[in-house]
Amino acid sequence: MLTKEQKHEIIQKYGSNPNDSGRAEVQIVLISTRVKELTQHLIANKKDAHSRRGLRLMLGQRSKLLKFLKGKDIERYRALIKDLELKDRY
């Protein structure tokens, strides 16, 4: 689970101001960090189907946000996927 400090650091790094949590980049990074944590949980707890469903929902939301960002500003999209080390398939 993300702490307030971790969220604040992400918002400061990717947002345009310290309170800009609605920017697409901020939302994508927040979802990506939650995905990494949940993936580690699912490695340890293989039969946790409810968390696996939540992971799939988060991945779908991240995919939608990445498609939106790609259509809106390709340079910001490319910088973000390079920073997060994601594949360019959105």
- Predicted pLDDT of residue 81: 96
Q: What is the 3-state secondary structure (H, E, C) of the chain?
A: CCCHHHHHHHHHHHCCCCCCCCCHHHHHHHHHHHHHHHHHHHHHCCCCHHHHHHHHHHHHHHHHHHHHHHHHCHHHHHHHHHHHCCCCCC
User: Are 27 and 11 in contact, with CB atoms under 8 Å apart?
Assistant: no
Place of tokens 């992400």: 10
Per-residue pLDDT of the chain (90 residues; tens, 9 = 90+): 899 999 999 999 999 998 999 999 999 999 999 999 999 999 999 999 999 999 999 999 999 999 999 999 999 999 999 999 999 987
- Which structural domains are found in the chain, ordered by start? 4-84 (1.10.287.10)
- Predicted pLDDT of residue 1: 86
